[in-house]
Amino acid sequence: MAAPRVAVVGAGLIGLSTALRIAEVIPSCCSITLLSEQFSPNTTSDVAAGMLIPHTYPGTPIHVQKQWFKETFTYLFAISNSAEASEAGIHLVSGWQVFKNPLEAEVPFWSDVVLGFRLMSAAELQKFPQHGHGLAFTTLKCECPPYLLWMEKRLKANGVQIHTRKVADLWELHSEYDIVVNCAGIGARQLVGDQQLFPIRGQVLKVHAPWVKNFIRDGDGLTYIYPGTHSVTLGGTREKESWCLSPDPGTTKDIFDRCCSLEPSLQRAQDIRVKVGLRPSRSCVRLQREVLSQGGARLLVVHNYGHGAGGFSVHRGTAKEAAHLVEECIAALEGFSSKAKL
């Protein structure tokens, strides 16, 4: 059988991390090409805060989500502890998730994956006069664009070809590739007509406030302050089914006021930039094999999209699973080719 040709569509966090995992586990005889309409800094992934705090997917069993998070945390923790950390833009960050009402639920499923998870002390809670309860922990943060650029560099070093191309229909790739991996994010709604995929618009501010060192997340995470290497991300909004990519000035003021009420020192923040992104949302990530066929020809497809509000928190775990599905496709191709010889 000729060496399988694999195309990965999408150069956001999910496409890059999936292509990287495929390049790591699949023999070098297989050729890998990354095709994308947009690259960093023009993807949703570039807008995100990049915090590793899982969002829950209602359609995915919790033990699977935990496994994805654990694999992602372990992978990034090792990078944060290496000489690559600053170039890759991966660092540890400590902080608090604060609540006005007593915590009803049991501890979150990810509590034993992050570091030093505990209830906040009464002394710590004095910082938050409007909140009576809280959790303290240390997690990881990915800086974007550096993390995306670091992955792109590693892909090139692994011989992966990278091309700018908008794919109108996956079938258009069938004469050039044997396997296509669909990591198109919200673009998958049009690319494969997935009506279960919808945008949840998020507007954030990136501000200069280098004195803010700890993250602060209010309750379910609608308001948050996430310090990064060069800026602090202030959020946010969750607007279901909104496709609008233009910043809204009223929302900017509202986010700023909410964050200042949590951390009053932000009133002196400077260089306020506003960003908007569309979270590619679904009840569960679509991680699945599919065979497309037309007139006797076939194209093997692996889908990996729909990470919603939590792509950074689980991307390495889903990339591993998608690469495994690609391995299964290669085995199936070998099966077809040996049957054809009989």
Name every residue whose Cβ is closer than 8 Å to that of residue 157 and which is 6 or more positions away in sequence: none
Q: What residue type is 124 in one-letter code?
A: E
Name every residue whose Cβ is closer than 8 Å to that of residue 197 and which is 6 or more positions away in sequence: 186, 188, 189, 280, 281, 282, 286, 305, 306
Q: Is 224 annotated as a binding residue?
A: yes
Whether residue 6 contacts residue 32, with contact meaning beta carbons closer than 8 Å, is answered with: yes
- Interacting span for ligand FAD (CB under 6 A) from 24-32, 127-135, 276-284, 327-335: 276-284
Q: Is 167 annotated as a binding residue?
A: yes
How many residues touch ligand FAD under the rule CB under 6 A: the total is 41
Q: Is 45 in the site for ligand FAD (CB under 6 A)?
A: yes
Q: 245 to 264, contacts with ligand FAD by CB under 6 A?
A: none
Name every residue whose Cβ is closer than 8 Å to that of residue 202 and which is 6 or more positions away in sequence: 47, 48, 235, 236, 237, 238, 239, 276, 277, 278, 279, 309
Q: 164 to 223, contacts with ligand FAD by CB under 6 A?
A: 166-167, 183-187, 191, 202, 204
User: CA–CA separation, 327 vs 26, rounded Å?
Assistant: 7
Q: Is 207 annotated as a binding residue?
A: no
Question: 12 or 108: whose CB is closer to ligand FAD?
Answer: 12
Question: 131 or 279: whose CB is closer to ligand FAD?
Answer: 279
Buried b (16+ CB within 10 A) or exposed e, 62-86: eebbbbbbbbbbebbbebbeeeeee
- Chain mean position to CA 120: 28
Question: 89 or 202: whose CB is closer to ligand FAD?
Answer: 202
Q: Is 280 in the site for ligand FAD (CB under 6 A)?
A: yes
Question: 91 or 333: whose CB is closer to ligand FAD?
Answer: 91
Q: Is 274 in the site for ligand FAD (CB under 6 A)?
A: no
* Structural tokens at position 24: 């790591």
Q: Is 146 in the site for ligand FAD (CB under 6 A)?
A: no
Show binding-site residues for FAD: 44-45, 167
> In the complex, which residues of this chain contact ligand FAD (CB under 6 A)?
9-15, 35-38, 43-45, 47-51, 166-167, 183-187, 191, 202, 204, 236, 277, 279-280, 305, 307-313
Residue ranges of the binding site for D-dopa: 224, 279
